[in-house]
Amino acid sequence: MSDNKPETNRYSRLAVSAIVLTFVLGATLAPRLTAGMDYGPSPMQNPVIFNPTVNPVTTPPIVVPTDVQPNLNAFQTGANLPMVNYDFGAIALNGIMRLPDSAFPQESALTGPTNGITVKFKPGSEYKMEGDYIVVLKKGEILVSVKKPSRLAMIKTPYGNISVAADGDVLCKFENGTLRVTNLDGGGQTIKAQLNQGPFAGASDPTVTIAAGFEMVGADHKLTRADMRPRDGVARRHFKILESGHLAISEISVESVMKANDVIADLRQSSTGVKERRILGDMSKMAAVLNYKNGTQGFKVEE
């Protein structure tokens, strides 16, 4: 029994040596188990949050006829004018662009199908149809809608003509020497005006296109706040006076027009017809698009 002790001790030492050698080799061949820099994915860092400083919003003053631009040549480039120092007059100019006189359609262009042309009027309005494509407005308010397959209609007013191309809906009002043209949903150059009569006769006869969601006002007198912001339930913002105070452009809320205008209210009562539903549907779509694109802040209804 005593002869086996040295042998046992020798085996024990060999076992201990083998275990130590295993750990040494493991540490050498598998460096990820050793102490040192972690080489895995970098830990996600907490985002740095910057709290912007919000300046108080101030309501801009209403542009009155003292802000007069002598003629329309200064905005021949039309839309996309830079907004500098909250120049809301420049924003208003996005709604109007001067065109050469040749860009306005001639009466000879009034051809094609007529079943897409619709005319609605406010009770008491004085107007008449001149053929299938032309409406002559003497007094009051009318809505003219042109839907495909029809291509073009025209409104004759005491101050000049308004053309309405396909997929356009326009309100036209003439009362007390003031002409009001509102583009409800016509994109591009769908709605054009050639003012060459009355106070606009002569060298300063502008031909313009009016953008969707904008209202052009022209008068035989210098425009006042009451002309620019009548108490008609329509929400407006961003005003600019032009043509020595006789012409102006402003942005309107199409949504508010649909709720407050008498002609459109009458259209709603007739909404069982296919034409009426299509007109109201196009207006509603444009109202939603404009609200999303331009926002609703700053619109105000005159009380």
pLDDT digits (tens, 9 = 90+) for 107-117: 999 999 999 99
Any domain includes 22: no
Any domain includes 11: no
Q: Highest mean pLDDT range out of 14-18, 64-68, 297-301?
A: 297-301
Give the separation between CA 62 and CA 49, rounded to whole angstroms.
38
Domain interval for residue 234: 72-294
Task: Give the global pTM.
Answer: 0.72
Does residue 184 surpass a pLDDT of 60?
yes
Query: Residue 147 in contact with residue 277, Cβ under 8 Å?
Result: no
Does residue 81 surpass a pLDDT of 50?
no
Any domain includes 237: yes
Percent over 90 (pLDDT), the chain:
64
For residue 160, what are the CA distances in angstroms to 69, 79, 263? Answer: 21, 24, 22
Any domain includes 57: no
**pLDDT at position 30, please?**
42
Any domain includes 270: yes
Q: How many domains does the chain have?
A: 1
Q: Structure tokens of 152?
A: 């073009």
Does residue 187 surpass a pLDDT of 70?
yes
* Angle, vertex CA 66, rays to CA 64 and CA 68, nearest 5: 100
Any domain includes 64: no
Give the separation between CA 93 and CA 251, rounded to whole angstroms.
9
Query: Residue 192 in contact with residue 152, Cβ under 8 Å?
Result: no
pLDDT band at residue 70 using 50, 70 and 90 as cut-offs: very low
Any domain includes 282: yes
Any domain includes 299: no
